[in-house]
Amino acid sequence: MKLLLTSAGLTNQTIVKALDELVGKPLDQLKIAFIPTAANLEEGDKGWLIDDLRRLSFLKFKEIDIVDISALPKEIWLKRLKKTNILFVEGGNTYHLIHWFNKSGLSKVLPELLKTKIYIGVSAGTMVVTPSVLNAKSEKPPVLDFDKEIKDEGLSLVNFMIEPHINSVWFPESNFVNLEKRSKEYKYPIYGIDDNTAIKIDGNTVEIASEGKWKLFKK
């Protein structure tokens, strides 16, 4: 399984190099599925989402297919995901994303897809693959069409938690001092990563690709 777990996407050349190492071929030969589902509940102009799409465009992928798993039936989004090389899961509301991973059925087919595809996570898209999202900053949506109990479990594709946006002006409570205190309450080790850092996973190997700040709080 190959994953590139980021705070803010492909923000620098070190993170792009980590992606190059995972794919092993020129990016202009690769098709990428951009999954914006987590952003659906976010307000504002979503300039950060546009920035992520712009970066992908600059990298000249062969094709960028925008696939919202909450807006399409499974037979359509699954067919489109199977045609791509990379799944790029955008940030937004973590709980909304977990809900749609489960409701759409993506959580069940994802391990099989990742036998041949690379997963890039951004913020919420990173957090959902961990065993717990207790540290999520997202508000839990009103139940309505959501699960009767919105849980804090992720997909457990990795055995550690991740806190993105360390030292970000948009998330002032996310810093190493606060995270060290909160980490004592968590069952799992947790990485704190800033917007210039990514965690690269290739099988059982975990490496950090960073031009910024990061720290691991072990149990």
Please tell me the predicted confidence (pLDDT) of residue 137: 86
Q: What angle do CA 66, 148, 73 make, to 5 degrees?
A: 30
- Containing domain of residue 212, as a range? 2-217
What is the number of domains present in the chain?
1
Q: What angle do CA 62, 130, 100 make, to 5 degrees?
A: 65
Average pLDDT over residues 17-26: 97
Tokens standing for 142? Answer: 């009103």
Alpha-carbon span 146 to 123, nearest angstrom: 21
Q: What angle do CA 68, 72, 78 make, to 5 degrees?
A: 85
Alpha-carbon span 36 to 192, nearest angstrom: 23
Please give the full DSSP string across 195-211, using - where no structure is assigned.
TTEEEEEETTEEEEEES
Question: What DSSP state is assigned to residue 127?
Answer: H
Residue 148 in this model has a pLDDT that exceeds 60:
no
Please tell me the predicted confidence (pLDDT) of residue 143: 58
Q: What CATH number did the domain enclosing 64 receive?
A: 3.40.50.880
**Global pTM value:** 0.95
